[in-house]
Amino acid sequence: MGFDCVYKKSERGVRKCTENNGETRPNEGPSQIEKRLAQLESILQGVTKQLQPTENPEDFLADCSSSQLPSPYQTPRKTTDTVDGMGAVIFADENGCGFFGESSNSGFIRHLNTAFKTYIQDKQHSSMRQTHVATDVSRPPTPCSIQDHSRTSHDAHIFDTHGLPSKTETIRLVNSFFQDFGMLFPYINRRAVLNDIEHAFRESCPVLRRSWLCMLQVILAFACDYSARHEVGDKNVSRADGFAQQALALAPDVVEQQPNVEMLQALLLLTQYLQGTRSSTLFSNYQRFTVQVAFQVGAHCPNQFPSETILECEVRRRCWHMVFILDKSMSLHFGRPSSVPSTYAEVPPPMAISLDEFDAAPGDRSPNNDVSTAIGFIHTIKLFHILADIVQEIYHGNMSPGKSEFPLELHQSIGSIEWKLHSWRKALPASIQIRAISSMDGSSSSPFDRLSIVLTLRYHFAKLLMHRATVAQFLDRTEKLSAGGIATDETLPPFFAKVEHASMEECVSAAVEIIDILHLLSASGHRMLMSWWFCVYYAFSAVLVIFVAYILRRQHEISFPLLDRQEGSNTFAKALDVISHYGPNTPITIRCHKYVQRLERLATTTGLFSGDASGLWDFNPSEGHDDLTLLLPELLPIEATDIESFMTFHDTEF
């Protein structure tokens, strides 16, 4: 491009002494170090001799083994695993393992597996062994930590001056980002980014801030990734990955700099990108750093600082709302406790104007400022507060997995949150109202129509997540009652049974609505504002609910009017079309697509759709044919990218 990027490398001192029990002592000589290492080795050998494993960890984890694909974000794994004395699985050469609670898809899939096994048992009139899963621990290929990630390549080659496209192309991609994905989360000032780009290309040898350059790389990655969803070819996919890798190479140095709002913006944007394109561990690590940086810069403070302009204060406040949204998103998707309590979110809501308009004179502002697209961001924040209430009140903050409460307590919480959702919906401006599928025009390019569709999908997902707890509780209760020989309809008074049925109907209705909306928009070529990752996630979550609904329909004779009016295979076909359309050719999409195909075949074979189970042969446990996976000869492959937001590797074992 005609210029080089120069970075000021901070001096890093080397510690000349170490600490022992709070006292400082000089460095030990080689002989002393060798003696201490020998002592440690002797202690470890003694402990190892006392630990005699009762089973072969490799056999225990045989179902979780995988054929690894090469990836720059993982290291080769050794073949041996260990199990500690408490029975928690520890994987060799991995930096962590994952737990996925009740609000996650994996938490619901556990109920799905149990319900499907019970359904098959009733169909066969024979008993099948229950597969024992010792822990709810996944086995994804875990990448390195933030401090180690890409450190080698970063030290050798800090930044390639040819990593940025031409000035014209860079500006085009930046504008594309703010017209699409950036419209949903307007916490970055487009005008400031463009001004910095002009400066970078104007100077012959500019000194670029690492945080700004990292943020720019992610903006370009988002723009290319979004374009790839609507254009033929894989060029933009590879370009997006290239920009993302440049950002990840800069990130370790970014987090070591003095915290400021620009660093917070870069980390927020990078975390959003990692949420759908990289491993959950990498996403979680950056999300944790982002929260800490937000506290350090005072993003959580509601008042304007004396040194801030109105624009700077507004950006800081919007960043804090994004920290809150990402934290709640991770909590509900992964089924883990939140790290930012809702009581911390006392920052005033954003102003309903674009950041570009802050510096403009009142007479120069666009006439649409009364209903700016920023209004969508404001109501998204309010909706995520309701989602936080769902996780906290219905799923107990993901702190007590599997806890089953009395139906009255659950439905009291659901009723309270249903009223909050109703109030939120009534408060929406006319331009972004929740819309019925009959009123949607897939060809509309109006930004408010596109915002309305996104809010509609999020609204239905909130209802699905809330009422899914009723489905899970019903499955838990029927499993316990069937084991005791008690009829399900004898356990609840008629009134509570009707309330429970109404809640399950709401869940199924939301699931069907999500798939129908996404299918309509995909068939019309609609350019979704939200990322492809959320489109696939919503469709996949809806399919899981519909599959369980067919089990309830056949096994417990529960009627769902929406399912009665359409073929089950047609609903699954729509979901497969949605996943193929919105998802790129990535391990996430491939695995979700195969999983839905498998559910469809199982439903067809076992008579869930039609009631005809003639295609199901009798398993003979004495001959070892007691594994439901034999229904399909091909097992789902374990890919090189973990996708625990969708499901864990154990979820294929039904």
pLDDT for 63: 40
**Distances, alpha carbon 282 to alpha carbons 96, 489, 558, in Å:** 11, 46, 42
* Confidence grade of residue 346 (pLDDT, cut at 50, 70, 90): confident
Residue among 382, 544, 404 at smallest CA distance from 102: 404
- What is the pTM assigned to this prediction? 0.75
pLDDT at position 55? 43
Residues near 245 by beta carbon (within 8 Å), at least 6 away in sequence = 72, 150
Q: Distance between CA 356 and CA 510 in Å, rounded?
A: 37
- The token duo for 314 is 């507004």
Q: Over range 489-515, report the average pLDDT.
A: 88
Query: Which region, left, alpha or beta, applies to residue 298 given φ > 0 means left and ψ of -120 to 50 means alpha?
Result: left
Q: How does residue 315 score in pLDDT terms, banded at 50, 70 and 90?
A: very high
- Tokens representing 644 are 């625990």
Q: Bridge-partner residues for 89, per DSSP?
A: 83
For residue 164, name the pLDDT band (cuts at 50, 70, 90): confident
How much is the pLDDT for 495? Answer: 87
Strand, helix or coil for residue 81: coil
**Tens of pLDDT along 204-216?**
656 788 899 999 9
- Is the confidence at residue 60, as pLDDT, over 50? no
Are 324 and 340 in contact by the 8 Å Cβ rule? The answer is yes
From 115-119, 481-485, 551-555, the region with the lowest mean pLDDT: 481-485
Residue 251 located in a structural domain: yes
Cα–Cα dist 647/98, whole Å: 11
Tokens of 519: 């299918």
pLDDT score at 458: 96
The answer to whether residue 113 sits within a structural domain is no
What's residue 285's pLDDT? 86
pLDDT at residue 530 is higher than 80:
no
In a domain, 394, yes or no: yes
Of residues 89 and 122, which shows the higher confidence score?
122
Cα–Cα distance, 604 to 632 (Å, whole number): 12
String of DSSP letters for 47-61: HHHH---SS-HHHHT
CA dihedral sign of residues 299, 302, 308, 312: positive
Asked whether residue 292 is domain-assigned, the answer is yes
Range of the domain at 326: 143-359+369-403
Whether pLDDT at 603 is above 80: yes
Out of 347-351, 423-427, 476-480, the most confident range is 423-427
Of 346, 336, 432, nearest to 385 by C-alpha is: 346
Of the listed ranges 3-17, 326-340, 513-527, 576-590, the least confidently predicted one is 3-17
Residue 513 confidence (pLDDT): 95
**Is residue 422 domain-resident?**
no
Binned at pLDDT 50, 70 and 90, residue 115 comes out as: confident
Q: Are 345 and 385 in contact (CB under 8 A)?
A: yes
Residues 382/428, Cβ–Cβ less than 8 Å:
no
Residue 545 and residue 464 in contact, taking contact as beta carbons nearer than 8 Å: yes
Does the residue 267 lie in any domain? yes
Select the more confidently predicted residue: 521 or 650. Answer: 521
Does 350 score more than 50 pLDDT? yes
pLDDT of res. 466: 96
Q: Is pLDDT larger for residue 480 or for residue 334?
A: 334
Q: What would the mean pLDDT of 600-628 be, rounded to a whole number?
A: 61
The Cβ-side half-sphere exposure at 44, using a 13 Å CA radius, reads 6
Mean pLDDT throughout 326-350? 87
Top mean-pLDDT range of 83-92, 326-335, 383-392, 478-487: 383-392
Q: Tokens for 338, please give them.
A: 């939140």
Q: What is the DSSP letter of 177?
A: H
Q: Which of 150-154, 179-183, 355-359 has the lowest mean pLDDT?
A: 150-154
Tell whether the model's pLDDT for residue 316 goes beyond 60.
yes
As a whole number of angstroms, the distance between CA 320 and CA 517 comes to: 31
Q: Are 291 and 340 in contact (CB under 8 A)?
A: yes
Mean pLDDT of 406-428: 92
Instruction: Report the C-alpha gap between 643 and 645 in whole angstroms.
Output: 5
Question: Does residue 56 surpass a pLDDT of 60?
Answer: no
pLDDT reported for residue 506: 96
What tens digit of pLDDT does each residue of 428-476 get?
999 999 999 888 876 667 888 889 999 999 999 999 999 999 999 998 8
Q: Torsion over CA of 15, 20, 25 and 30, rounded to 10 degrees?
A: -80
Task: Please choose, from the candidates 430, 340, 336, the residue with its C-alpha nearest in 3D space to the C-alpha of residue 381.
Answer: 340
Residue 149: pLDDT over 90: no
Residue with tokens 């005699």: 52
The pLDDT-based confidence of 540 (bands split at 50, 70, 90) is very high
The SS3 assignment for 419 reads helix
Which residue is associated with the tokens 């034999």? Answer: 630
What distance lies between CA 11 and its chain's CA centroid? 37
Q: What is the 3-state secondary structure (H, E, C) of 371-400?
A: HCCHHHHHHHHHHHHHHHHHHHHHCHHHCC
Average pLDDT over residues 40-63: 50
Q: What is the pLDDT of residue 405?
A: 59
Non-local CB neighbours of 645 within 8 Å, separated by 6+ positions: 104, 105, 275, 280, 333, 334, 537
User: What DSSP string runs through 112-137?
Assistant: HHHHHHHHHHHHHTS--PPPP-----
DSSP state of 69: P
User: What's the chain's Rg over C-alpha atoms?
Assistant: 27
pLDDT confidence tier of residue 78, bands split at 50, 70 and 90:
very low
pLDDT for the residue 483? 64
pLDDT at 653 over 70: no
Q: Looking only at Cα atoms, what is the longest distance across the chain?
A: 83
Task: Name the residue with higher pLDDT: 122 or 141.
Answer: 122
* Mean predicted confidence (pLDDT) in 258-263: 92
Q: Residue 219 pLDDT > 50, yes or no?
A: yes
**Residue 1 one-letter amino acid:** M
d(CA 93, CA 141): 10
Max mean pLDDT among 84-93, 142-151, 155-164, 174-183 falls in 174-183
Residue 252 near residue 236 (C-beta atoms within 8 A) = no
Q: Which of 495, 602, 503 is nearest to 560 (CA)?
A: 503
At 360, the pLDDT band (50, 70, 90 cuts) reads low
Range 412-435 average pLDDT = 95
Number of residues that make up the chain:
654
Res 424: pLDDT: 97
Residue 192 lies in a domain: yes
Contact 529, 454 (CB under 8 A): yes
For the chain, what percent of residues have pLDDT higher than 90?
Answer: 30
For residues 243 and 203, the answer to whether their CB atoms sit within 8 Å is: no
Residue 509 has pLDDT above 60, yes or no: yes
Cβ atoms 394, 472 nearer than 8 A: no
Question: Looking at the domain assignment, is residue 642 inside a domain?
Answer: no
Q: What integer is the mean pLDDT of 536-546?
A: 93
CA distance 534 to 619: 39
Average pLDDT along the chain: 74
- Single out the residue of 189, 140, 459 nearest to residue 316, CA to CA: 189
Residue 65 pLDDT exceeds 90: no
Per the structure, the count of domains in the chain is 1
- Which amino acid is located at 192 in the chain? A
